[in-house]
Amino acid sequence: MDIVQTGRYLTTTWPTIRKQLMAGTYRPNPVRRVGIPNPDGSERELGIPTVIS
């Protein structure tokens, strides 16, 4: 999602997320890993944090 879509999505889901945060039960998704190719043929990992899914 882009930032505008995320804002719209959070408008409807924020009460549930807030409840989980306040109760200490919120568990974020793991960081998404993507391989970025290097010029020498190897790869380095890039971590992309996910806010919600």
Confidence of residue 53 (pLDDT cuts 50, 70, 90): low
pTM here is: 0.55
**Which structure tokens are listed for 39?**
């010029």
Contacts within 8 Å (CB) and 24+ apart, 22-28: none
Our count of domains for the chain comes to 1
Per-residue model confidence as pLDDT tens digits over 1-13: 788 988 898 899 9
Asked whether residue 53 is domain-assigned, the answer is: no
Domain with 35, as residue range(s), is 3-48
Between the two ends of the chain, the Cα-to-Cα distance in Å is 9
Per-residue model confidence as pLDDT tens digits over 25-42: 988 888 989 999 999 999
Asked whether residue 20 is domain-assigned, the answer is: yes
Which of helix, strand or coil describes residue 34? strand
